[in-house]
Amino acid sequence: MRTTNKPSSILIFLLLFVFTSALAAQETKLKWFGHAAFSIVTPNGKVLLIDPWLNNPSNPEARDGKDPLVALPKVDYILLTHGHRDHVGDAVLIAKKTGAALIANPELAGNLVKLADFPGNQVDSRYIMQMGGEIQIADGELMIGMTPAVHSSSVFNAKAGPNEPERAYGGSPAGFIIAVRNGPTIYHSGDTAYFRDMELIGENYSIDIALLNINQMGPKMSARAAQSVQAKLAIPHHFGTLPGMLQTAEAFIAELKKRKIAVHEMKPSETVSFRGRKMTKAK
């Protein structure tokens, strides 16, 4: 009996191991660094950074002289919604450190290379997008869509002479749809006012999570945005970073409650995990 029991218990253990590893491999991770900066790690381990101002004052990983780039894992793609400095953030340093490819509009990409020293060989025309465009990346594990944003955009030109404008053209501001295979579909609003065509985003995509800029839209219209894009879960961002900015998400959460939309308020440097399209844990 002993000899037959032993292999079968080993087999069960092995099966359990394979099963739990397969489940872990289906995980998508979303991390907020404060302000508009998020990272997404896909089930296959691809890493995306959106609007990576990691050195923003609300990021605990950037306090007390700490460098948030030290702990940064490999980065495959940097997505920029627009050229404002609180969104381009540390993109140039991160690109140089990790070799990540840039996903942005052509004017922003071109001027970042020319004026901000973004590595030109990491700007690939396959990843240059315009609003309404969609690209498949990471061997089809990710679909990136670029959505409109009602805002402005410019690239800060540190090389500008005394009679030259400091703000160079940055193309049109945008938002992103990030659809992860075996994971959630995420909408990042970028900086935008509310616009009624957000309803089209809700009709065209099955949004699981909406990362909404509650400072630009205000609590009431941000909640309306969550409803328009038909988000199953809303996560606020772009607040509490700088003086003069909306400091809490309280009013936004109250407005979402009225509309019966689920919300999760992340803390800077918090990571949430998703199995398939559902959030499993926050830490």
Positions that interact with Zn ion (CB under 5 A): 84, 86, 191
DSSP lists the bridge partners of residue 102 as 78
Nearer to Zn ion, 193 or 262 (CB): 193
To Zn ion, the closest distance from the beta carbon of 116 in angstroms equals 16
Which residue lies nearer to Zn ion by CB, 40 or 246?
Answer: 246
Q: How far apart are CA 91 and CA 87, in angstroms?
A: 9
Give SS3 for 199: helix
Contact 172, 153 (CB under 8 A): yes
Which amino acid would we find at residue 80? L
Strand partners, 137: 142
Cβ 238 to Zn ion shortest distance, Å? 6
User: In terms of Cα–Cα distance, which of 59, 103, 66 is closest to 237?
Assistant: 59
Q: In what order do the strands lie in the sheet with 233-237?
A: 134-137, 142-148, 174-180, 185-188, 209-213, 233-237, 262-263
**Token pair for 188:** 């990042």
Closer Cβ to Zn ion, 215 or 228, answer by number: 215
Nearer CB in complex with Zn ion: 111/185? 111
How far apart are CB 165 and Zn ion at their closest, in Å?
Answer: 17
Q: Closest distance between Zn ion and the C-beta of residue 81, in Å?
A: 8
**Side-chain half-sphere CA neighbours of 196 within 13 A:** 0
| Least spacing, CB of residue 117 vs Zn ion, in Å | 21
β-pairing, 233-237 vs 262-263, is parallel
User: Nearest distance from residue 36's CB to Zn ion, in Å?
Assistant: 6
Q: How far apart are CA 179 and CA 44, in angstroms?
A: 14
Q: How far is the CB of 199 from Zn ion (least distance, A)?
A: 23
For the chain, give the number of residues: 283
* Closest-CA residue to 105 (of 68, 65, 132): 132
Q: Which is nearer to Zn ion, 143 or 193 (CB)?
A: 193
Question: Which lies closer to Zn ion via its Cβ, residue 179 or residue 214?
Answer: 214
- Please, are residues 189 and 210 in contact by the beta-carbon 8 Å criterion? yes
Looking at beta carbons only, is 198 or 217 nearer to Zn ion? 217
